[in-house]
Structure 1
C-alpha cells in the first residue's frame, strides 16, 4: 500500500514537472521569435512572430480548458453466454458541452485474457472534430472462450496539434461477462459401435445405463412427478412411479481432474473437451431431475454435494466457467484425501486427461469397495504414451467402464492411441 502511494505521488510530481517544462518551452519559443522580429524588423519576421503567437495562445488555452464531463454507457447485450459466441460491444459517449477537441481517442479497458481474443486495437476508436454531442462505436470479439471476464472502464485522451499538452481521463464503468462452457444434448447423440480394439459408448447409454429402470410401484406423496411412469399408469388405472436399480438409484458423482501434466495445446484442448463433457452430464441431470454431485480436484478442492434443481445446476456450470487448470498437483492424492466423503450407493464418473499409476491404484480401491466407476479419459493425441494405454486396458480388466474420448460430446470414436 505504501509503495502504491509513493508511486502515485511520483507520477503526480513527474506530470507536474513535464507540464512546467513544456510551458517553459512554449514561452522560450515565444521569446526567441519576438527577439528575432525585434532585431530583424522586417515584414516576414513580424508575420512569423504573430503567426506563432496565435498558435502559442491557442495551445495555452487548449491546455487550460478542462476535458469536461462525459457520460459513457456500454451495451454488451448479455451478461452470460456460451463459449464460441460472437460478442458485440457498443460504447456510447455523451458530452455535456462541446469540448473543441482536434481528435478524441476512446479505448475500452478490459482483462488481458479477453483482449487477446480480439484483433489488436479493436476496442480503440479515434473521433475527429465534430459537433455531435453523442459519439458511438461498436467492436466485436469474434469467438469468446470459456471464462469469467471484467471490462473495467473507458480511457479518453486528446492533445493539441503538436502533441505537447495531452489530456487523459478514465471513466470507470464495470461490466462482468460470464462465458460458460459448451455442452451437448446427450439425448440426441448417436450410439458408438463396439469392436475388439476399443469399446465405445453412446451418449444415451452412458447416462441411462446408470439410471436403468428396475420396475414400477404405486405413487406415494413426495415422489417426483418426473419419475411417474405414464404407460404403466394408463395400463393399471393407478398413478405409478418408476423404480430404479438399487445399486445406482438416481445419484451419481462427477469427479473432474483439474490437474494437467503440461500446458501444450493438445493437453489444454483435451482439458477443455473434458469440461464440455462434464457440463453435458450436469445439464442432462438437470433435465432429468437427477441427483448429481461434482468434485473438482486440483490445488483447490471444490465439492458440490448431491442435489438437483436449477440453482444446483447453475452453481456447477458457473464453477466450470471460472475454473482454470493446475500444474504440479497429484490428482490421486487429492482423491485419497476426500474418499471418506463419497456418498453411499453413488456411481462415480471420472473425467480426466491422464491416467497415472497412482490414479489406477485408487480406481482399484474404489472398485474393491463395490463402487460403480465410469472413467472418461480425454485423448491427448500425440501426448498419450503406451504406458497410459496399458493402464487404460488394466482399468477395464478390473471392472471399470472406461472410455477413451476425443471430444466433449462423446461422438468421436477413438480406436487407436497416437502415442503407440
Structure 2
C-alpha cells in the first residue's frame, strides 16, 4: 500500500511540474513576444495536453498467459504467449510488456521476457517469448507488468496485473537400455540388466476397470463381450517388485541422479512392475505399488526435490525387512565403502543394480574403481554413467 501511495505521489508531482512548465512557457511568450516564443508555446502545448490527459485516464487492462506446452521436462523449450486487452481507446505512444521470470528458473543468461510495442489505438496487445532450456522444478508465474508514458517522459505509469500460473517441469527422462539376463551374460553386460524384461505377473482373471489402471491391462475381448471396460487381474510375484534407492547427497551429479531415478521408475511402470522409491537421506518414502497415479506421485516428488547440503545418506534403509525380497536399483553419485558393504551383505545380489553417476571418467576415484570390481565379482550389476559422454557403460 505504501509503494502505491508513493507512486501516486510521484505521478501527481510530475503533473504539477508539467503544469508549471506550461505556465512558464506561456508567461515567456506573453512577456517576450515574437514568433519564436509563441512558436515554442504552441509547439509545447499539444505534448503537455497529451501528458495531462495521459495522467488522468486510468490504464485498465486484463491479461491472459498461454503456455504452448503444459507438460514439460527439463531441457525442453517453454513457449509463452501473452495477450493484454485494455478497456479504453486512449492512444498510447509506447508500452513495455514484461513477464518477470521466477527465481526458480535459475537463469544463467539474460532472457528477453519483455517487449516494447507502439499500439496507439490498438486495444489488444500481444507478444511471445521462449526459454530454450528450462530447468526442473515447480515454478510460479505470478504477474505481468505494464509500463508506459508520454512522448517526453513527463508522466509514466506502471500497472501490475496478477496472473498466477503454476508450471511443473518434470525430470528429464533418459533412455535406459534393458536387456534380458541371458543377453547380459552373452554380451558381457552392455546395458542395465535384466529381470525387468521378464514377466512379472500371471493373469488370473478379469475385473471392472478402475481409475488408475493402465490401458495395457485392458482385456479387450471381455470388454467387447460385456460392453464395459474390463482389466486383467494378476497374481503378484513379489520377487519382481522394484525399489529405487536414490542418493541425493551428491551436488555435482544431483540433476542426473534425479533424471535416472525418474527414468527407472517410468520404465518399470510401463512394464507393469510394482515399484517404490526410497530417497536416501530424506524422510519421504513411496511404498511399492503400481499404476500411473502412483508413478505421478513419485514424479511430482522428483520434480520438487532440491539439493540440501545438510542431507546425509541413510544406507541402512537398504536392509529394511520389507525390501529383502524386492529388486533394488541404487542410483548414486559416489560409491562409498559403507554402501558397498551393505550391498555385498545382501543375499539376493542378482536382483541389485547400481547406477553410478559421474560427470566424467576422470571423476571416478581409485577407491571407487576397487569397490566397482568387488561388486562385479560378487554378481551385482554396476552401470557407470558419464555425463560428458551422454551414454552408459556397463560392467558385470
> TM tier, shorter chain?
0.7 to 0.9
Determine if the alignment matches structure 1 residue 145 to structure 2 residue 135: yes
Structure 1 vs Structure 2 CA RMSD: 3.7
Q: CA deviation at 1:350?
A: 0.4
Alpha-carbon displacement from aligned partner over 1:190-226 (angstroms, at most 9, x marks no partner): 977889xxx64424x33437x578xx98x64479996
Distance between the aligned counterparts of 2:280 and 2:22, measured in 1? 70
Q: CA deviation at 1:114?
A: 3.3
TM-score by length of 1: 0.75
Alpha-carbon displacement from aligned partner over 1:139-159 (angstroms, at most 9, x marks no partner): 222233332222222111101
Tell me the residue number matched to 2:155.
Answer: 165
Partner of 1:363: helix, strand, or coil? helix
Tell me the residue number matched to 2:331.
Answer: 351
Pick one of 27, 41, 51 that aligns with 2:43: 51
Determine if the alignment matches structure 1 residue 206 to structure 2 residue 194: yes
Distance between the aligned counterparts of 1:411 and 1:193, measured in 2? 21
Tell me the residue number matched to 2:308.
Answer: 326
Q: Which runs of no fewer than 5 residues in structure 2 stay unpaired?
A: 208-212, 220-232
> How do 1:228-377 residues align onto structure 2 when only pairs under 5 Å count?
249-260=239-250, 262=251, 267-268=252-253, 271-298=254-281, 300-331=282-313, 334-336=314-316, 339-340=319-320, 342-365=322-345, 367=346, 372-377=351-356
Change over 3 Å in CA distance of 1:344–1:157 after alignment to 2 = same
Partner of 2:164: helix, strand, or coil? strand
Tell me the residue number matched to 2:374.
Answer: 394
Q: CA deviation at 1:189?
A: 7.1
Q: CA deviation at 1:303?
A: 0.7
Contact residue 184 and residue 409 of structure 1 kept, 8 A? no
Tell me the residue number matched to 1:96.
Answer: 87
Distance between the aligned counterparts of 1:85 and 1:145, measured in 2? 8
Distance between the aligned counterparts of 1:303 and 1:183, measured in 2? 21
Q: Which runs of no fewer than 5 residues in structure 1 stay unpaired?
A: 1-7, 229-240, 416-420
Alpha-carbon displacement from aligned partner over 1:31-84 (angstroms, at most 9, x marks no partner): 43333333323332233233334432322221111112x232222133212333
Contact residue 47 and residue 151 of structure 2 kept, 8 A? no
Change over 3 Å in CA distance of 1:189–1:38 after alignment to 2 = farther
Count of equivalent residues: 372
Distance between the aligned counterparts of 2:120 and 2:25, measured in 1? 33
Distance between the aligned counterparts of 1:59 and 1:146, measured in 2? 46
Q: CA deviation at 1:173?
A: 1.7
Partner of 1:109: helix, strand, or coil? coil
TM-score by length of 2: 0.79
Contact residue 329 and residue 353 of structure 2 kept, 8 A? yes
Q: CA deviation at 1:258?
A: 0.9
